Structure 1
C-alpha cells in the first residue's frame, strides 16, 4: 500500500509532480516562480539579440550609403582634385558611437548620422577638401592647404552644435545639451554642446598617394595618416587637437575666430617620439576647454582634480607616470632631458654621456680631449709608466695612445 508521499514523489524528486489527488490541480509556487524567471530571461535575451541584429543591419545600410555618397562627392558633381605631396589630414569621429546606437532607435541614429555626414561633406566642399575615408561614425579628409583644414574643423564643430537634433537623441548622455551661463555678470545661456560630439585630430606631412583603379579613388599611405588618426583618438568629444608643428606655421590672422591653448606632448600609439599638441576651439565654444581638463602625457587619460601631477617638458603627467625613459623609474627629483625625453642621471650618463677611451666608463664630470678621444683626467696617463702628465710635460702619441717623453723614446727605440 503506497502512501500519499509516494504518489507525489514516485521517483524521489525534490519537487512534486503536478497531478490530480482527489482535489483541485495544485501548481507549486517555487516551480511557477522559477518558470517565470526563465521566461523573462528568455524574452530579454531574444529582445537583446533582435536589437543587435537591427543595429547591425542599420549600420550596414548606413555604411553602404556613405560609400556611394563619397564617390558621388569626389568624382561626381564636384570633381574634387586629390591633394598630393605635403598633405594636411583631418581625422574626425563621433565619440562613444556604440553607446548612441544602444540607447536610441536605429532610425533615429541613422537620421543623426546622415545629418552629421551632410555637415561634414558640405564643409568639405566649401573648404576644398578631399574625402579619403568614410565610415559610419568617422571621416578622413585631406587638404592641400593647412589653413583650409583648420577652418574646416572649426566650422564643423560649430555646425554640429547649431544643428537641431531629435529629442530622443538629445536624451542620451553622449548627446545631451550643455549650456554655459554667466557672461559679464549676467546669466545668459550659451549652448556649448548639443548632439553627437566629434573628436578631431589635425596633422600635416609628406605622404604617398595610392590610386585605386577599380574605384577611381585616391588613397594615402604614410606615417602622417596614422599620426592624424592617433591624435583624433586622443581628443575628447567636441575637441580639436592640432599637431604643434603645423599650428606654428599657420597664418593666425586668416583663421576663423578661435581660442587655443597648448595641451602638452603625448606618446601616440606606434610612435617613439612625443607629439606636441595644441587645442583649438571656435571662439563661441571657448567654455568647452573647462570640460576637457588636463590629460596625462603618458597614459592619455584625464588627471582628476584631486590627483597630484607633474608639469614637465611642456606637458602634464600623473605623479607616478613621469618616469625615466630608459629604466622606467619614477622621477621624483633631478632629471636630465635629451630629445624631449626625461632620464634619471644614472641612465642619462650610461646611455648618452661620452665614454672614456681608457676605461670605457661614462664621463660625468671633468674630462680631457686628446688624441681624438675623450678621457677621464685620472685615466689620461702614460701607457707605459702610468704617470699622469704635468702641465709642463710633453705627451707623445704612439698607436693612438699617450706616452711621456722617456717612455715614447723607449718604445720607439730612441727615435722621435
Structure 2
C-alpha cells in the first residue's frame, strides 16, 4: 500500500490537488483559507492574494477604496478618519483648512482672527502690501498696515493735522491731541510740554502770551 498524502485538517487526499504547507503540515486550499486566510474588511470574502493591510484589518485591493471618490486607493497615500479612509485629494477637499480670502486649501500660511490665510492673500486693504511678518492692525475685520490705518483712522494732531501713532509721545487735552514737538504756544511757538498753558478758543498760549493778551 502506498503512503497516504492527506490534508492535515480534513484528512482528504491531496493527490492531484493544490495544497499549502503550514509548519510541515499540508492543507488543502479550502482548509487553509478557512484556518489562515484573511477576510476582507469590506466584502467579508476570503482574500486569496493581493491583499492590503492596515491597522490589523485586510482588504482586497479593489475593496480598499476612498470614502470620498470611491476609487481604489491601491498603493497611494491615504488618510484615516475614524472608520473610513480618504485619498489625499479628497481629504484635503473636505477637511483641510482653507484660506479665508481665496477659499483654496491652505497648508501652513498665517493665522489672523482665528482664520488661516495664504501669506500672499493677507494684504493691507488700503495699499495692498503684504502684511505677513510685519505689524498690522484692523478696523473691524478689515486688516491695514500701520501707515494706512494711521492715515485713515488715527487721531490727527491739532497743530500739523498729521496722524498720531504709537511710535511717538503726544499730549492730549479736551478731546484734542498734539505731537509733543507740535505742542507749542500759538503766539510765540515756545514748547509747552511740561509747562503750564492756557486754552484760548482754538489756541493754546504760554503764560507770558496769555498775560499779554489779558493786558490788551
Interval containing the TM-score (normalised by the shorter chain): 0.5 to 0.7
Structure 2 CA distance for partners of 1:286 and 1:357, relative to 1, 3 Å:
farther
In 2, the alpha carbon distance for the partners of 1:403 and 1:286 equals: 77
* 1:371/1:400 contact within 8 Å kept: no
1:345 Cα deviation after fit: 1.9
1:299 Cα deviation after fit: 1.5
Structure 1, gaps ≥5 residues long:
1-180, 196-281
* 1:358/1:380 contact within 8 Å kept: yes
1:350 Cα deviation after fit: 1.3
In 2, the alpha carbon distance for the partners of 1:285 and 1:326 equals: 46
Structure 2, gaps ≥5 residues long:
1-52, 71-80
Match of 1:362 among 137, 146, 163: 163
The answer to whether the aligner puts 1:375 opposite 2:175 as a matched pair is: no
1:156 is matched with which residue?
none
Which structure is higher in RCO with an 8 Å CA cutoff and minimum separation 6? 1
Structure 2 CA distance for partners of 1:310 and 1:358, relative to 1, 3 Å:
same
In 2, the alpha carbon distance for the partners of 1:360 and 1:314 equals: 36
Q: Residue 193 of structure 1: SS of its match in structure 2?
A: coil
2:204 is matched with which residue?
402
| Alignment map for 1:6-405 (pairs within 5 Å) | 182=54, 184-187=55-58, 192-193=67-68, 289-292=91-94, 293-303=96-106, 309-338=109-138, 339-364=140-165, 365-389=168-192, 391=194, 393-405=195-207
Kindly name which structure, 1 or 2, has the bigger radius of gyration based on alpha carbons: 2
In 2, the alpha carbon distance for the partners of 1:345 and 1:335 equals: 7
1:336 Cα deviation after fit: 1.6
In 2, the alpha carbon distance for the partners of 1:369 and 1:291 equals: 53
Structure 2 CA distance for partners of 1:360 and 1:185, relative to 1, 3 Å:
farther
* 2:109/2:118 contact within 8 Å kept: yes
In 1, the alpha carbon distance for the partners of 2:56 and 2:169 equals: 62
Equivalenced residues, count = 143
Stretches (4+) displaced over 6 A = 282-286
In 1, the alpha carbon distance for the partners of 2:58 and 2:123 equals: 45
1:296 Cα deviation after fit: 1.9
Q: Residue 343 of structure 1: SS of its match in structure 2?
A: strand
In 1, the alpha carbon distance for the partners of 2:116 and 2:169 equals: 34
TM-score (norm: length of structure 1): 0.30
* 1:367/1:374 contact within 8 Å kept: yes
* 1:331/1:344 contact within 8 Å kept: yes
Structure 2 CA distance for partners of 1:336 and 1:187, relative to 1, 3 Å:
farther
* 1:357/1:374 contact within 8 Å kept: yes
In 1, the alpha carbon distance for the partners of 2:116 and 2:100 equals: 6
TM-score (norm: length of structure 2): 0.54
